[in-house]
Amino acid sequence: MASEEQKLLVSMIEQFAKEELENVAQKIEKEGISKDIRKRLAELGLLAATLPQSENGAGIDRSSFSLVLMTIAKYSASVAYFIYLQNTLVNEILFKAQKRKEEIAKIASGESTGTLVHDINFNFPLEIYIKGHELYGANNFVILPDADFHLVLARSEKTSYLVMANPVKIEKKKPLGFRAISFGFASYKQTIEEDRIILKDADNLLKSHIFDTSDQIAAIAIGMSESALEKAIEYSKERKAFESYLYEFQPISAVLSDMKGRIEEMKKALMLSEDTKDRILLKLNALELARSASRLALQIYGGYGYLEDLGIERYYRDSMYLTMLSSNYIKDIEIISKNIISPDAFKI
Amino acid sequence: MSFELPQEVEETRKRARNFALREFTKELIEHFDETEEYPNEIRKKVFDAGFITIENPWNMLVTMEEFCRVDPGIGLSTLASVFGSEILLLYGTDEQKEKYLYPTLKGEKISAVAVTEPGAGSDVAGISSRIEKSEKGWILNGHKMFITNGTVADHYYLLARSAPPPSKEKRHHGLTLAIVERKWNGVNPVKLKGKLGMRATDTAEITFENVLVPNENIVGEKGKGFYIIMTFFNISRVYVAAQSVGTAQGILDLLLEYLAEKPASFREMEYVQFALAEISTLIEAARNITYKAAAKVFSFNPDPALTSMAKYYAAEVANQVANIAFKIVGMEASGSKLEKLYRDAKITEIWEGTSEIEKLVISRMILKKIQEVK
C-alpha cells in the first residue's frame, strides 16, 4: 500500500502530467522530448530522482519512484521511459561508480542527456571493443543515439568496461514505439582517458543493475495498461453498436472488468517486490499486461483506434517496443527458473 | 478425401510467391509504408501477370496468401483493387457488368465497397446514409468511413437506407445497394493517413451530398441490400483469413531467417524449438480452416459459421504468431520487417467484421442447432 507521503507525491506528479503532458502527448511523440520538458522534469527532481539530495538528487525511495514512473506513463510512456533512462540507466550507474559527478549534475538539471549502450538482455553481441585505451565498434540498436554522451559497454580480451564516449557517427531510424525518443545506429572510435572509464568488469555489474531495476519497467508497463484501459472504458460508454453502448455487451464488459482486476493486482505486486527475481517476474507479467491492455483498447476502438489521431495505436506499438527494450524472455525466465526451481533448471 | 490443392493452384502459388519476392522489394515496401501512397504501378503489374482472375477463385486465394506473406500492405492493395466484384458477379445486370465489372477485372478500373459509417462499423444494419427515389433516379446523402480504395476507386458498391426499418428487429430491412462513381458531383473522398499498419492500402472517409444515382445503378432488389452485403462478406472474409495466414507465414519466414543467422546453439534451445512448433501448428490449423471455409464458399455452398471461424481464428493466429516471434527475436526486431508485420497483422481482427462480430455469427449459427435438436 502506498504511504501518505507517496500519495502526496503521486498527486503532485499526476497534476504535472495532466497539465503539462496529457494534451501534448501526441506532439511529444512527433517532435521529441523538448528541452523545456526536460527542464520541467529536472525541476521536479525526476532526472536524478533516486539519488541522494547531497548528490543533486531528489532522494526518492525505490517504490515511490516506481509510482512516479507509473503515473507519468499513464500520460506519456515515452517521457516515463526517458526518466528511467536518465535516472536509472545513466545517473544511478554514474553515482554507484562514484564517477563523473559533473555529468550527473548536468542530467539532473536537464542541461544534458545521456544514454546507455549495452547488450545485457539482448540476443546479439554488442561488437564494441576496447584495446588498450582505444574504443572502437558500432551498434545498430542504440536508444537516444543523439544523447550528449554515451555510457558504452565495451569488451576487451579479458574483461569488460563501461566507458563514457561520444559516437563518431549516428543514424536515426523510426522506432516501433516511444517515438519521442530517438533510436538507431552509433559507431565509436576514440581514445578513452582514464577518467572516462566508469566501470571495470562492467558486464556483471550492469547485469545486476539492469535486472534489479526491472520493477521500474514494470511500473511503466502498468501505467500504460491503466491508461489504455481507461480510454477503452471511456469509449465503450460513448460508442454504440446495435443500438446499445459497447459496455452493455456482456463479453466487452467482462473483458474490461477482468483487465481492471489484473491491473489492480499488478499495482499491489509492484509495491511488494523484494528481490531481483520478484522484480523480473513482475516485469514479465506487467509487459504482458501492457500488450494485452493495448490490444484490448485497440479492439474496442476498432477502426478509429487504428488511426494515430486518437493515440490508441500508440499503446499497441509502445507496449511491444517496451518489451523489446527491456526484456529478453529467454534470459529473464532463465534467471527466474534458476532462482525458484534449481540452479540446474533451464539447462537443456 | 485429399488435402492437396489442384496442381494449377499450386503453380499459381509458386508464381505468386516468385512475383512478390521479385516485385515487392525492401525499398518499395518501406516506401509505401512510409509515404502511405497507393502502389498503383505494382497493381498494374499484378494485372499484367494475370493474378487477378475470377475463373478460379482458389488462384486468387493462394495469391492473397503468398502476396501477404511478403508484404500484406502491397499484397492486399493490389488484389483488393477489384474489391466487391463478386457483388456484381452474383447480383449485377448485364449492363452493370459491362460498365463496371469487366473493366475492373481487366485492371482498367478500381472498385471499392462502401458500407462502414462513422457510427456504424460492425453493425451494418445501423447505417444512416440515405438513398431516396427522385424523379431522375435516386438521391444519395451520407457519410462513409474507413473505405478501402476510397480515394483511388472509380466506383463504390455502396449500401444506404432507402426505407425506414419496419421494426426494431428488422433493422436490416430497407437497405439498398447502389453503384456510385467517385467522380460524380457531391462525392468527396478524403484519404485517412496515419494508420498503424497496412499503410500501402488507401483508406478514406467519404461524404455524399445530394449525389444523383441513376436507376440502372441500383444492384439487386431495392431494400434487399443487407442480404447482398452479407453474402459478399461470406466471400470476402475468406480472403481476409488468407491475408492472415499469409501474414503469419511471413512472420515464420522471418523468424527462420533470423534463426539461420544465429549460432546453432541458439536454435538448439528447446524453448526456441517449442516456439517454432507452436507457431507452425497455429499456422497450419489456420490455413486448414481457411481452405475448408473457402471450399464451401467456392462451391456455392457457403457456411457462414465456418467462414467466420476462419476469419476470426486466422486473425487471432496472425497476431499471436507475431507476439511469439517477438519474444524470441526481441530487440533485433526493431526497425525490421517483423515489426512491420506486427503492425499489419492487427487490422485482421478489425476489418471485414471484428472478431467479436465473427463470434456472434458463429454462436448464432450453433445456437440454431440447439433449436433444431429441440
Q: Where are the beta strands (DSSP E) in chain A?
A: 114-117, 128-131, 134-143, 149-155, 160-165, 169-173, 183-191, 197-200, 240-241, 244-245
pLDDT single digits (tens) B111-138: 999 999 998 887 888 899 999 999 999 9
Q: CA neighbours within 13 Å on the CB side: how many for B91?
A: 25
Residue B76 has pLDDT above 80, yes or no: yes
The CA angle B269-B272-B278, to the nearest 5 degrees, is 140
Residue type, B219: V
Residue A141 has pLDDT above 90, yes or no: yes
pLDDT single digits (tens) A142-167: 999 999 999 999 999 999 999 999 99
pLDDT at residue B137 in the model: 96
Query: Which B positions 149-168 lie with beta carbon below 8 A of chain A?
Result: 168
Query: Which B positions 132-151 lie with beta carbon below 8 A of chain A?
Result: 145-146
pLDDT at residue A206 in the model: 94
Enumerate the residues of chain B whose CB falls inside 8 A of the CB of residue A241.
120-123, 126
Count of CB contacts below 8 A, A vs B?
111
* Cα(A228)–Cα(A219) distance, integer angstroms: 14
* Cα(A235)–Cα(A252) distance, integer angstroms: 12
CB < 8 Å & 24+ apart, contacts of B318-322: B318/B244, B318/B245, B318/B247, B318/B248, B318/B251, B318/B286, B318/B345, B318/B348, B319/A295, B319/B345, B319/B346, B319/B348, B319/B349, B320/B282, B321/B248, B321/B251, B321/B252, B321/B279, B321/B282, B321/B283, B321/B345, B322/B248, B322/B251
Nearest CA in chain B to A284: B327
Architecture of domain B229-373: Up-down Bundle (1.20)
pLDDT at residue B301 in the model: 94
* Cα(B121)–Cα(B329) distance, integer angstroms: 35
CA B4 from centroid of its chain's CA atoms: 24
Specify whether the CB–CB gap between B315 and B355 falls below 8 A.
Answer: yes
Q: State the smallest CA–CA distance between residue A190 and chain B in angstroms.
A: 26
* Cα(A155)–Cα(A168) distance, integer angstroms: 18
pLDDT at residue A329 in the model: 87
pLDDT single digits (tens) A167-176: 999 999 999 9
- Tell me, which fold does domain A115-201 have in CATH? Butyryl-CoA Dehydrogenase, subunit A; domain 2 (2.40.110)
Specify whether the CB–CB gap between A288 and A333 falls below 8 A.
Answer: no
Q: How many residues does chain B have?
A: 374
* Cα(B136)–Cα(B216) distance, integer angstroms: 11
- Whether A173 sits inside 8 A of B126 (CB atoms) is no
pLDDT single digits (tens) A90-112: 999 999 999 999 999 999 999 99
| Residue of A26, A30, A122, A123 best to disrupt the B interface, most CBs of B under 10 A | A123
pLDDT single digits (tens) B17-63: 999 999 999 999 999 999 999 999 999 999 999 999 878 999 999 99
Average confidence score pLDDT of chain B: 95
pLDDT at residue A243 in the model: 87
Domain B110-223 sits in CATH 3.30.2020.30: no
pLDDT single digits (tens) A226-284: 999 999 999 999 999 988 999 999 999 999 999 999 999 999 999 998 899 999 999 99
Nearest CA in chain A to B347: A306
Q: State the smallest CA–CA distance between residue B148 and chain A in angstroms.
A: 12
Architecture of domain A213-340: Up-down Bundle (1.20)
pLDDT at residue B1 in the model: 80
N-term to C-term CA, chain A: 40
Specify whether the CB–CB gap between B62 and B13 falls below 8 A.
Answer: yes
Enumerate the residues of chain B whose CB falls inside 8 A of the CB of residue A249.
356
Catalytic choice (B65, B66, B349, B352): B352
The angle that helices A329-340 and B270-298 make with each other, rounded to 10 degrees, is: 120
Residue type, B91: Y
Q: How many residues does chain A have?
A: 348
CATH superfamily, domain B7-79, is Acyl-CoA dehydrogenase/oxidase, N-terminal domain (1.10.540.10)
pLDDT at residue B250 in the model: 98
Nearest to B52 by CA among B29, B73, B78: B78
| Residue of A181, A330, A332 best to disrupt the B interface, most CBs of B under 10 A | A330
What is this model's ipTM?
0.93
- Whether B262 sits inside 8 A of A175 (CB atoms) is no
Count of other CB atoms within 10 angstroms of residue A37: 19
B126: nearest CB among A241, A251, A309: A241
pLDDT at residue B22 in the model: 98
Enumerate the residues of chain B whose CB falls inside 8 A of the CB of residue A327.
330
Enumerate the residues of chain A whose CB falls inside 8 A of the CB of residue B145.
303
* Cα(B107)–Cα(B47) distance, integer angstroms: 6
pLDDT at residue B169 in the model: 85
E strand or H helix that includes residue A251: helix A250-272
Residue A56 has pLDDT above 90, yes or no: no
Q: Are A4-112 and A115-201 in the same CATH fold?
A: no
pLDDT at residue B55 in the model: 82
Which DSSP string do the residues of A183-222 spell out, in sequence order?
Answer: EEEEEEEEE--GGGEEEESHHHHHHHHHHHTHHHHHHHHH
Residue B292 has pLDDT above 90, yes or no: yes
A144 or A331, which is more confident = A144
- Whether B123 sits inside 8 A of A241 (CB atoms) is yes
Specify whether the CB–CB gap between A280 and A312 falls below 8 A.
Answer: no
- Residue B356 designated active-site: no
pLDDT at residue A242 in the model: 87
Q: Where are the domains of chain B?
A: 7-79, 110-223, 229-373
Residue type, A8: L
Residue B107 has pLDDT above 90, yes or no: yes
* Cα(A102)–Cα(A100) distance, integer angstroms: 5
Lowest mean pLDDT among A76-85, A147-156, A325-334, B66-75: A325-334
- Whether B194 sits inside 8 A of A307 (CB atoms) is yes
Q: State the smallest CA–CA distance between residue A121 and chain B in angstroms.
A: 9
- Whether B269 sits inside 8 A of A330 (CB atoms) is yes
Enumerate the residues of chain B whose CB falls inside 8 A of the CB of residue A175.
334-335
Query: What are A142's strand-pairing partners?
Result: A184
Nearest CA in chain A to B170: A242
Residue A348 has pLDDT above 80, yes or no: no
Tell me A91's DSSP state: I
Residue B314, SS3?
helix
Q: State the smallest CA–CA distance between residue A328 and chain B in angstroms.
A: 6
Q: CB of A297 within 8 Å of any CB in chain B?
A: no
Residue range B216-234: average pLDDT? Answer: 96
Strand A169-173 relative to strand A244-245, pairing: unpaired
pLDDT at residue A346 in the model: 86
Q: CB of A169 within 8 Å of any CB in chain B?
A: no
CA A55 from centroid of its chain's CA atoms: 23
Nearest to A225 by CA among A182, A270, A181: A270
CATH superfamily, domain A4-112, is Acyl-CoA dehydrogenase/oxidase, N-terminal domain (1.10.540.10)
- Whether A308 sits inside 8 A of B194 (CB atoms) is yes
Q: Where are the domains of chain A?
A: 4-112, 115-201, 213-340
Enumerate the residues of chain A whose CB falls inside 8 A of the CB of residue B327.
329
Q: CB of A333 within 8 Å of any CB in chain B?
A: yes
Specify whether the CB–CB gap between A14 and A72 falls below 8 A.
Answer: no
Share of chain A above pLDDT 90, in %: 89
| Residue of B35, B356, B358, B362 best to disrupt the A interface, most CBs of A under 10 A | B356
Nearest to B92 by CA among B80, B108, B78, B104: B104
* Cα(B370)–Cα(A24) distance, integer angstroms: 54
B123: nearest CB among A242, A291, A324: A242
E strand or H helix that includes residue B140: strand B138-148
The CA angle A117-A185-A164, to the nearest 5 degrees, is 35
pLDDT at residue B121 in the model: 81
Whose cell is 444519395? That residue is: B140
Q: CB of A323 within 8 Å of any CB in chain B?
A: yes
Q: CB of A327 within 8 Å of any CB in chain B?
A: yes
Residue range A190-200: average pLDDT? Answer: 95
CB < 8 Å & 24+ apart, contacts of B270-276: B270/A348, B271/A330, B271/A333, B272/A330, B272/B328, B275/B324, B275/B325, B275/B327, B275/B328, B276/B252
Enumerate the residues of chain B whose CB falls inside 8 A of the CB of residue A121.
330
Distant-in-sequence, close-in-space partners of B292: CB < 8 Å, separation ≥ 6: B306, B310
